[in-house]
Homo-oligomer: A and B are copies of this chain.
Amino acid sequence: MISPWFLLPLLSLLSLLCPSLGAKPFSPSRFPSQNLGSLRPSADGHGSSSRGWETKYYTQTLDHFNYHPESYVTFRQKYLINAEHWGGAAGAAPIFVYTGNEGPIEVFAKNTGLMFDIAPKFGALLVFIEHRYYGTSIPFGSGALENATTAGYLSTSQALADFATLIVHLKRNLTAQKSPVVVFGGSYGGMLAAWFRLKYPEVAIGALASSAPILQIDPNFNPFVFTSIITNNFKSTSENCYRVIKNSWDEIDRAVASNTGKEKMEKLLKLCKGGAESAKDWIDEALTYVSMTDYPTPSNFLQPLPAYPVKQMCKAIDNPTTGNDTFAKLYGAMNIYYNYTGAAGECFNTSVSATERIDSDAWSWQTCTEIFLPTGANNNESMFQPSTGTNLEWMTELCYYYYYVKPRFFWLTTEFGASSIKTALKKFGSNIIFYNGLKDPWSGGGVLKSISKTLVAIVAPKGAHHVDLRASTRDDPKWLQDLRTSEVQIIKKWIRQYYRDNSISSSI
Contacts and interface: CB of A to CB of B under 8 A. Distances in A.
B502 A65 contact: no
Interface of A: 61, 63-69, 71-72, 148-149, 151-155, 157-158, 161, 164-165, 168, 197-203, 205, 365, 369-370, 404-406, 408, 410-411, 414-415, 417-418, 420-421, 423-431, 501-502
A66 B430 contact: no
Given A65-B64, A158-B66, A423 B71 contact: no
A158 B407 CA distance: 18
Which among A67, A420, A428 has the highest number of chain B CB atoms within 10 Å?
Answer: A67
A202 B215 CA distance: 13
Contact of A155 (B65, B148, B406, B411): B65
Given A67-B148, A202-B421, 14 more contacts: A64-B65, A66-B66, A66-B152, A66-B155, A66-B158, A67-B154, A72-B406, A201-B429, A202-B423, A203-B414, A423-B501, A427-B501, A428-B430, A428-B431
A68 B428 contact: no
A369 B67 contact: yes
A157 B199 CA distance: 12
Contacts of A61: 408
Contact of A63 (B66, B426, B428): B66
B161 A415 contact: yes
A205 B428 CA distance: 9
Given A201-B428, A428-B201, A428-B430, A405 B67 contact: yes
Given A199-B199, A417-B201, A423-B502, A152 B69 contact: yes
A71 B63 CA distance: 12
Contacts of A168: 410, 414
A262 B415 CA distance: 58
Name the 8 nearest CB pairs between A and B, nearest first: A68-B152, A202-B417, A201-B428, A202-B424, A65-B65, A65-B157, A67-B152, A67-B369
A197 B199 CA distance: 11
A67 B370 CA distance: 9
A404 B421 CA distance: 40
Contacts of A205: 427
A205 to B, nearest CB: 7
Select the residue from A65, A71, A430, A502 with max chain B CB neighbours within 10 A: A65
Given A427-B431, A430-B427, A69 B414 contact: no
A201 B429 CA distance: 9
A47 B382 CA distance: 65
11 contacts: A63-B65, A64-B65, A65-B157, A67-B153, A67-B365, A67-B370, A68-B153, A72-B406, A201-B425, A201-B428, A428-B431
Contacts of A414: 161, 164-165, 168, 200, 203
Nearest to A420: B202
A427 B64 contact: no
Nearest to A426: B501
A234 B478 CA distance: 71
Given A164-B414, A168-B414, A68 B149 contact: yes
Contacts of A153: 66-68
Contact of A411 (B64, B199, B365): B64
A427 B69 CA distance: 37
Nearest to A71: B152
A429 B428 contact: yes
Contacts of A151: 67
A148 B405 CA distance: 24
Nearest to A424: B202
Contacts of A501: 423, 426-427
A451 to B, nearest CB: 12
A393 B151 CA distance: 33
B202 A69 contact: no
Contacts of A68: 148-149, 152-153
A163 B332 CA distance: 56
